[in-house]
Structure 1
Amino acid sequence: MQQSPNPDNNAVVFSEEEKGNQLFPVFVKLNKLRTLLIGAGNIGLEKLTAIISNSRQAQITIVAEIVSPEVYKLIADYPRIKVKQKSFDVSDLQDVDIVFAATNNNILNEEIRRVTHDKGLLINVADKPDLCDFYLGSIVQKGDLKIAISTNGKSPTIAKRLKQILSEGIPAELDATLQNMSALRQTLNGDFSAKVKKLNKVTESLVNPKKSFVEANMKWLIWLVALLFIGGVGVTLWNTEPEFQTFFINIDPLFYWFLGAGFVFAMVDGAIGMSYGVTSASFSLAMGLPPASASMAIHISEVMSNGIAGWMHYRMGNVNWKLFKILIIPAIIGAVLGAYILSSLEHYSAYVKPVVAVYTLFLGGIILMKAFNIKRKKAEHKIKRIGFLGFVGGFIDAAFGGGWGSIVLSSLIAGGRHPLFSLGTVKISRFFIATLSSLTFFTMLGGKYWEAVLGLIIGSALASPIAAKVSNKISAKTIMVAVGIIVMGVSLRSVILFILKLF
């Protein structure tokens, strides 16, 4: 490296050859090379894990005086990895193509680099960019698609952050597209230029995908349905409930309770992406609403909020339309059926209420468990029975006042679906489920407890613009713990009161 002092400020000036990122990206077939890893402690384990996670068939020889139990455990299923428990010497470089030095001895690392270069071999020295001939970049992989990220050794942290962004932003479904393109490529005839034109035409849909009429007009469909539904409910109440016309003159205290509750629960939902239904259901039951009326109030208040959320996900391209088409019809059928059954049992609310309380108690426990175990193991295979999942989720959500997100979204993500596309699809589906289940409730029950309904609608609407900003200021784990404890406490109280009444 050539350096010269700056006459003005004595700062170091690099030669033109050293400016910028001079690295040349390559993808090395380690399964075809002979790899030497020197060191088998924590650093060696990290390097070994990186190597075999990208090349499971790599032929590796490990040389180290002390080999950690974790290394032995890791290589148990890799017959092409051999261990020599000894000190390193020059003879270990015989029949080797590439070298990784992963010791915590800087003097030894420099000596390894010197003798490695004498042999004409390339070497990577852990945590010593100046001693490296090549770096290990952060890797994003979706099947056969692999992206390597380099910061020229300046900041591994930024590389890891970019890896996280790309991993979440690139759908796993892209690998299926890649496989289809590979199969198509094998069928093409003609010269190279003709093949490129054909492949460009096929892949144009990735940049400018064709949308169906529903997809292209989803924005207007959402707003039309929401306005017609809310307007229809308002007109019906105005004509059938005399008290509704004088509501703003003599406001029922119940309205204020649900106004505050709707605001708080929408804020919680904005912070952790779930729990509006279960918290609202627990609160409604505690305030004396029958289960069917409580579920009606919750779902009517969710029409507008989920319409806005679904529209935003639609605008950002977060909706998997294939998944939406499979999910929506069974989910609507389940939701309408659940709303019909629960409304039919309104006269038996004294017995239905403890059942719903037990359900919310269970959901509260799930929320509490997620708070302490947010990262879940990703399934190896995607969930297949999407239609059945939608039916069950829709039914339980309507029949028990909530649970669509907890059941469907959690199942999709745990089943290997992309979190962002799953969230967008579940949110926009939720809008139609809330609308049709609300319509069922309203048709069967009429305008019962409309003060609670109006309170939840206005409260949740007021919270929507600021929920996202506030959510960034508060720990999601703290909120989930608090919500889980409160929901379980309120639900347990309802169950205990029911038991005491029996005796």
Structure 2
Amino acid sequence: MEGNQLFPVFIKLNSIHTLLVGAGPVGLEKLTAILGNSPEANVTVIALEVLPGVKQLAEKHERLSILTREFDPSDLDGVDLVVAATNNDELNQQIREEADRRNLLVNFADKPDLCNFYLGSIVKKGDLKIAISTNGKSPTIAKRLKEVLNDSLPEEINDTLQNMQALRNTLNGDFAAKVKKLNAVTSSLVDGKGERTSRANLKWLIWSAIVFSFAIVVAVFWHKEPEFQTYIANLNPMFYWFLIGGFIFAMIDGAIGMSYGVTSTSFSLAMGVPPASASMGVHLSEILSNGIAGWMHYRFGNVNWKLFKLLLIPGIIGAVTGAYLLSSLEHYSNYTKPVVSLYTLILGCVILSKAYQVNRKKAVQNGKIKKISLLGLFGGFIDAVGGGGWGSIVLSSLIAGGRNARFSLGTVKITRFFIALMSSLTFITMLNGAHWEAVAGLVIGSALASPIAAKVSNKISAKTIMVSVGVLVILVSLRSIINFILKLV
């Protein structure tokens, strides 16, 4: 018969005795997999040479014992499961024969013909565990599938699992009635009706908000700025500089998921644009780009809606408050400008430090951030005051707290759309005049970059971009601060 005929089972290793023969690199890998899935497993390791990593595991797990000696057939007495991680063919054959005499299941590293069970690749999300088997044909394929599933399944799926258990415990009736109810609750996961409805509603909301916001922008510009019409016919050369800048900064943001605000604000300040007008230009340009990005992330299922709800309202409150405060101080731009420059200087240092953490896994993950709403409130306020920082602050904090990077990015992008929208409306309402050529350049430049940023970002080193951005932002911010100090002197 063709195909994989293995029967998958999940074993309670804490209730049986497992023997591991071999404590080299392969033995350490096998032992790490065993204890990673069953920390309370009762395991005995037998080997002539033992790697330090194996000894370190023994210090952390009380039920792990090490015997530094040769294997003896009597070692199989009282054992329930055997894993052999040796490169000695004679020893492997001896272990298989002795195990068969005792009717023991045994696994051999890289010896599928000798095995009567395999250790598959495991995807673990809380209480959810998925085992992958290639029937011993290709462990590499199993590992790759593990990586795909680890990235695709959100950590929050365990929350859903716990909620389903709680619902199950409240159900009454016989087994068939319970199954029918649970099937009805989870039907949206497979039939897509609920997702299609939500997607249609979100699409309508985002595009309506984009059209509405730009209609307000044009109406207010036309009413408050008598010279607005002349700008269209006789554009200031600054428009072209900001058009190019907006395009480049949006491309950078597409590559590393952050820094559009800080780079745009630093550039605006260096070009002589006051902080409030600079922040307004940044947020106006982000309405369309983040609306498109957020919509695309939603289409690919990259949004954590529980996280979205926790961030959205506090983020909007913080952003509106920050925009109102900064606009009120527009007449004191000579003093607020160095403060904002100091902020962008700090963010530049943060970006530079993160450049050297790319592809570097932390040995210890911090616990997930609990006060998401406070993070959103702070991120929204700082983002409006400093012209950027929502991604640098909120996204970085979520990822550093152990949340899934892809879902965090998608959620931050879609909330960023609403943050940018409300900040922009506040700035427009508060400011009597602005550098429209700079604003228009950023808006058009970033919109042009949005559709192609993701494709280009895959071909550029994120670390190289982050280092370049960090250094550039630091230099521009220092220049602004130094000029302010020289004026005082």
TM-score range, shorter chain: over 0.9
Q: 1:48 to 1:441 in 2, by over 3 A?
A: same
Picking from 136, 141, 146, the partner of 1:153 is 136
Partner Cα distance (2:96, 2:374) in 1: 60
- Residue 501 of structure 1 and its aligned partner are, at CA, apart by 2.8
Conserved? CA contact 1:376–1:414, under 8 Å: no
Quote the Cα distance in structure 1 between the aligned partners of 2:300 and 2:275: 36
CA distance in 2, matches of 1:256, 1:231: 23
- Residue 146 of structure 1 aligns to a residue in which SS? strand
Contact 1:310–1:431 (CA under 8 A) maintained in structure 2: yes
Q: 1: CA distance between counterparts of 2:433 and 2:119?
A: 64
- Once the two structures are TM-superposed, the CA of residue 455 in structure 1 deviates from its matched residue by 0.5
Counterpart amino acid of residue 45 in structure 2: I
Counterpart residue number, 1:27: 10
For structure 1, which segment, 469-478 or 309-318, has the greater mean C-alpha deviation from structure 2 after superposition?
A: 309-318
Partners of 1:457 and 1:66 lie apart in 2 by 65
Shift of 1:201: 2.3
- 1:268-310 deviation digits (Å, cap 9, x = unpaired): 1111111101111111111111111111110111111111122
Amino acid at match of 2:153: I
Q: SS where residue 130 of structure 1 aligns?
A: coil
Counterpart amino acid of residue 133 in structure 2: S
RMSD: 2.3
Superposed, which structure 2 residues align to 1:11-410 within 5 Å?
Answer: 17=1, 19-207=2-190, 217-374=201-358, 375-376=361-362, 379=365, 381-410=367-396
The verdict on how the C-alpha distance between 1:106 and 1:253 changes in structure 2, with shifts beyond 3 A counting, is farther
Shift, 1:353, TM fit: 1.6
Counterpart amino acid of residue 242 in structure 2: F
**In structure 1, how many angstroms separate the alpha carbons of the residues matched to 2:362 and 2:437?**
40
Do residues 469 (structure 1) and 452 (structure 2) align? no
* Range with greater deviation from structure 2 (350-359 or 34-43): 350-359
Q: Provide the rounded CA distance (Å) in 1 between the counterparts of 2:340 and 2:178.
A: 61
Could you tell me how far apart the structure 2 residues matched to 1:321 and 1:187 are?
A: 25
What is the CA distance between 1:483 and its match in structure 2?
1.3
Q: Quote the Cα distance in structure 2 between the aligned partners of 1:80 and 1:124.
A: 21
Larger mean CA deviation between 244-253 and 372-381 belongs to 372-381
Gaps of 5+ in 1: 1-16
Matches within 5 A, 1:413-424: 413-424=399-410
* Identity value in percent: 67
Code of the residue aligned with 2:372 in structure 1: it is I
Q: What are the superposed Cα offsets for residues 353-396 of structure 1, whole Å, 9 maximum, x if unpaired? A: 22211211111121122221134567564322222111101000
TM-score, normalised with respect to structure 2: 0.93
Deviation of 1:265 after TM superposition, in Å, equals: 0.6
Q: Describe the shift of the 1:360–1:105 C-alpha distance in structure 2 as closer, same or farther (beyond 3 A).
A: farther
The 1:376–1:63 alpha-carbon spacing in structure 2 relative to 1, beyond 3 Å, is: closer
Cα deviation, residue 88, structure 1: 1.1
Could you list the per-position Cα deviations for residues 183-241 of structure 1 after superposition, in whole angstroms to 9, with x for gaps in the alignment? Answer: 44445454432332232223335445758998752222221221122122223333443
Q: TM-score under structure 1 normalisation?
A: 0.90
Q: 1:211 to 1:26 in 2, by over 3 A?
A: closer
Query: Is residue 378–residue 415 contact of structure 1 (8 Å, CA) maintained in 2?
Result: no
Q: How far apart in 1 are the matches of 2:167 and 2:330? A: 58
CA distance in 1, matches of 2:176, 2:201: 38
* Corresponding residue to 1:429 among 410, 415, 424: 415
- Asked if the contact 1:378/1:416 (under 8 Å) is kept, the reply is no
State the one-letter code of the partner of 1:441. Answer: F
Match for residue 13 of structure 1?
A: none
Structure 2 unaligned regions, length at least 5: none
SS in 1 for 2:5: coil
Give the residue type in structure 2 aligned to 1:128: K
Structure 1 residues 485 and 154: CA distance shift in structure 2, 3 A: farther
User: Which residue matches 2:478?
Assistant: 492
Q: 1:185 to 1:300 in 2, by over 3 A?
A: closer
Q: Could you tell me which residue of structure 2 aligns to residue 10 of structure 1? A: none
Out of 427, 435, 440, the position equivalent to 1:449 is 435
| Mapped partners of 1:331, 1:486: distance in 2 | 28
1:91 Cα deviation after fit: 1.6
- One-letter amino acid of the counterpart of residue 126, structure 1: A
Task: State the distance in 1 between where 2:364 and 2:406 align.
Answer: 15
Alpha-carbon spacing, 1:378–1:284, altered in 2? closer, same or farther (3 Å): farther
